[in-house]
Structure 1
Amino acid sequence: MEVSYKQYLISNDQSRIDVQTVIDYLARSYWADRRPVETIKQSIRGSLCYGVYFQDEMIGFARVVTDGATMFYLCDAFVLEDYRGQGISKKLVEAIANAPEFEWMTGVLGTRDAHGLYEQFGFARV
């Protein structure tokens, strides 16, 4: 799957994921700052991953864990600080929430600070 948005590309091509960018960002996040590097690498290998690219640089990421039938868990979603405020996060979540493989599934996620973004795509506060 590839979606163009302005000068950005959203892709679920696992081979394009810049693992070091994910490691570096998660190390400074509030939700994964204590997650070991090997755990991050394993989570990427075991998930459906989406990258956002500006030219050839990955500037955004999201990971989806799913049973393939009834639910998906959206996690580790981010856009690098220099690229925020341009609607990129919204387009990334929209691309995932509207993907045919997740169309009939219930989406789950946890956030401390981005409820408004996710509620636009059918996620509910619990």
Structure 2
Amino acid sequence: MEIAWQQFIISDQKERLDLETIKGFLARSYWANKRPEERTLRSIDNSICYGVYDGLQQVGYARIVTDHATMYYLCDVFIDEAYRGMGIGKKLIETITTSLEFKDLMGILGTKDAHELYTQYDFEPDTERFMRRRPDYLR
């Protein structure tokens, strides 16, 4: 799937992904900065990934883990700092949440600072319901 929006392309074609851009951003993020590079690459291999492109340059990314029947987990979402404030994140989340593949599945995600973005697409805070176990390499 590819959609054109303004000067951007949103695509779920993995061959378009710029792995160096993704690894670089995630290494600077608060949620994945301790994740080993090989885990990031393996996560890409085993997930549905959306890239946002301005020409050939990747400027955004989102990764989805799903069973394709009941739920999906939206993670590793980012927009390059130079492209923020242009509505790209909104269009990326809208594309995912309205797609035939995901619109009828329960979506979950974790965020520390983007609640306003996700509530626009019907995500609701639910801190009492979810639990997590940190991987050994982070404990």
TM range (shorter): over 0.9
Q: Deviations over 1:33-63 (max 9, x none)?
A: 0000000000000000000000011110000
Q: Secondary structure at the match of 1:74?
A: strand
Q: Give the superposition deviation at 1:90.
A: 0.3
State TM-score, norm by structure 1.
0.98
Tell me the residue number matched to 2:76: 76
Deviation track 1:51-89 (CA, whole Å, cap 9, x = no partner) reads 000001111000000011000000000000000000000
The CA distance in 2 between the partners of 1:96 and 1:3, in whole Å, is 11
- Deviating 4+ runs (over 4 angstroms): none
Distance 2:17 2:55 in 1: 14
5+ residue gaps in structure 1?
none
**Superposed CA RMSD:** 0.6
Match of 1:94 in 2: 94
Instruction: Tell me the percent identity.
Output: 51
CA shift at 1:103, angstroms?
1.8
Counterpart Cα distance in 2 of 1:90 and 1:33: 24
1:59 counterpart residue number: 59
How far 1:6 moved relative to its partner? Answer: 0.8
Q: Report whether the alignment pairs 1:47 with 2:43.
A: no
Q: Give the SS at the match of 1:43.
A: helix
Indicate the SS of the match to 1:73.
strand
SS state at 1:92 partner: helix
Which protein shows a greater Rg?
Answer: 2
**TM-score normalised per structure 2:** 0.89
- Unmatched tracts of structure 2, length 5 or more: 127-139
Greater relative contact order, per chain length (Cα 8 Å cut-off, separation 6+): 1
- Residue 65 of structure 1 aligns with an amino acid whose one-letter code is V
